[in-house]
A and B are shown apart, each in its own frame.
Chain A
Amino acid sequence: MQPRSVGIVKTEYVELFQPPNELRLDSGEKIGPITVAYETYGTLNADRSNAILLCHALSGDAHAAGRNNEEDAKPGWWDDMVGPGKGFDTSKYFCICANVIGGCMGSTGPSSTNLRTGRPYGLSFPVVTIADMVRVQRELMRHLGIERLMCVSGGSMGGMQALQWTVDYPEMVLSAIPIASAAQQSSQGIAFDVVGRRAIMSDPKWRGGNYYAFGDPPLDGLALARMVAHITYLSEVSMRRKFGRRLQDRERYGYDFATEFQVESYLYYQGDKFTQRFDANTYLYITKAIDYFDLAASKGSLAEALREVTAKFLVIAFTSDWLYLPAQSREIVSALKVNNVDVSYCEIESDYGHDAFLLEVEEQERLIGNFLSGVAREHGIA
């Protein structure tokens, strides 16, 4: 076993929102039952006060840390930060991570079977929002007997969920750590998501979203969506360093259209790899949820929207992130300051772009570890 690893973990499943207690979504539609896939790491203490909810990003899942099987090549998506002695120290805290509603990694989403029809939902799956994802997580907490979260954290879309938690359930959240995130999806962010969705929907194999029965999903469209998105996760500097103009497996130009640049080969690889684990319709739904996200919208201003927030905040951004700019994190910090909310902000110097939230481990481990120790001290959590 790796040092500081949570080891072998098992993904758990629970059915929530059994009819007639279906979940009422932002769209007005109702859905239930909803299966939620989740994992937990560490031990819940006697007074149930050391629970931390980790929220995943667009392509993430419930498997945040450790390995599901001895043979797994890779650990969970946030294994660098979650484990004994790590930033989210599982020897002290009880961490939970659940696949979001609309997902394709065990929680109910468009690829799940609609119990009424016996067929996969496809596009008949209702459109969900970040607030809907949080509603499902809140119900999961009820199921787990957790009434108060010591912290909610996540990067990117995970940070959006953390923010939403502090607004929708202020009494339940002691602290929040949104990382490389924003209080609203920017026009530029929406633009890239639109390109991704169009790539999928214009793949003839997408078939209006009803591709499940044909055994021939729209992999090209999904791969293309991922390639575009992946560019937004990097930075000009990181791409220059990693690939430059170097060619892959050849010395000089071939004067043809074979894959020839290293960056080209990398993007193809990332696109294809993604299609092996991700559902195209889920990509549509989750990017749509991100695009709808705008905390300020219903209240006129972000400061107004964050008025009831009581959680202590640590906001983290990365200097080279151009998908979720540090300026967007500073907006969150400003709105919290206006409301006299206890907030810390760190802008980590990094060339990795948006991906930095998964890669800049050392700085984040210290920041988050120390911040959580402070929260634990303040609230007598042991």
Chain B
Amino acid sequence: MSDAAARLAYDVIVDLVGRGSRVLDLGCGDGLLLARLMAEKGARGTGVELSQAGVQAAIARGLSVVQGDLDQGLADYRDGSFDWVILNQTLQSLVNPSLVLNEMLRVGKSALVGFPNCGHWRARWHLLLTGHMPQQASLDYRWYDTPATRLLTIADFRSYCGERGINIVREVFLTDPDGGRPTRWPNLRAETAIFVLAGQIEGRPRQRP
């Protein structure tokens, strides 16, 4: 994913997140998105990041970040303890995506999932013509060295949610690098997909104290 495309996705996310939200960013990297959310939306944020370098960089931005493996789950967080749980450009590297998504819906009132769409026409064309796995801009690696082991399309994610009764609240699709937002045929035209899902606690009657 190009820097420009990443920035466009960040713009979308910053736009979506409400002012003063409590945010958990899973796979927060160097914390750039969290820092923007805090600066531009007054969010109270915390991150989880696997790499030591990412944790160092995020702490250098003044953020609170816990080094850890998302695939271990989010057991320490209470139900509905965040307004937003964000999983941006990390889904494709998870070993246990279902576990993580379930946990996101448990601890977040809203969950946001952003991932590269492998249904894009260029990826399909590439596979059809060359017989090789695509290396589109958002997937810079070859099959043997990519951390992105979960390759999925917009259609895949929609049916995943449909099968599990997960409520998709919003979808935003982006083309790279021009930042167009195709509404028709997104699975063919968008490089990046951003889904907003309703957390479990939203649909449930609030527990009395």
Contact = CB atoms under 8 A, between A and B. Distances in A.
B81 A343 contact: no
A342 interface: yes
Interface stretch (B62-70, B113-121, B128-136): B62-70
Nearest to B77: A337
A334 B81 CA distance: 14
B78 A370 contact: no
Nearest to B46: A342
A378 B63 CA distance: 11
Nearest to A316: B67
Interface in B56-76: 56, 59-60, 62-68, 75-76
A346 B78 contact: no
A334 B62 CA distance: 21
Interface of B: 46, 52, 55-56, 59-60, 62-68, 75-78, 81
A19 interface: no
B68 to A, nearest CB: 7
A342 B59 contact: no
B53 to A, nearest CB: 10
Contacts of A346: 52, 55-56, 59, 67
Given A337-B77, A342-B46, A363 B56 contact: yes
16 contacts: A333-B76, A334-B76, A340-B81, A343-B66, A344-B59, A345-B66, A346-B52, A346-B55, A346-B59, A363-B52, A363-B56, A366-B56, A370-B59, A370-B60, A370-B62, A373-B62
Interface in A301-335: 312, 314, 330, 333-334
B68 A345 contact: yes
A131 to B, nearest CB: 26
Contacts, number: 55
A368 to B, nearest CB: 9
Contact of A366 (B46, B60, B65, B77): B60
A338 B76 contact: yes
B52 A342 contact: no
Interface string A224-257: 0000000000000000000000000000000000
Given A345-B67, A347-B52, A338 B62 contact: no
Given A337-B76, A338-B76, A349-B52, A371 B66 contact: no
A28 B24 CA distance: 45
A119 B61 CA distance: 55
B154 to A, nearest CB: 33
A346 B78 CA distance: 22
A337 B66 contact: yes
A345 B60 CA distance: 13
Contact of A344 (B52, B66, B76, B77): B66
Contacts of A116: none
Contacts of B81: 340
Contacts of B55: 344-346
A272 B81 CA distance: 54
Q: B60, B76, B77, B78: which has the most chain A beta carbons within 10 Å?
A: B76
B51 to A, nearest CB: 10
A349 B55 CA distance: 12
A374 B62 contact: yes
Contacts of B62: 370, 373-374, 377-378
A27 B122 CA distance: 73
A346 B50 CA distance: 10
A374 B59 CA distance: 8
Given A343-B46, A344-B55, A371-B59, 5 more contacts: A343-B64, A345-B55, A346-B52, A346-B56, A346-B67
Interface in A335-364: 337-338, 340, 342-349, 363
Nearest to A374: B62
A25 interface: no
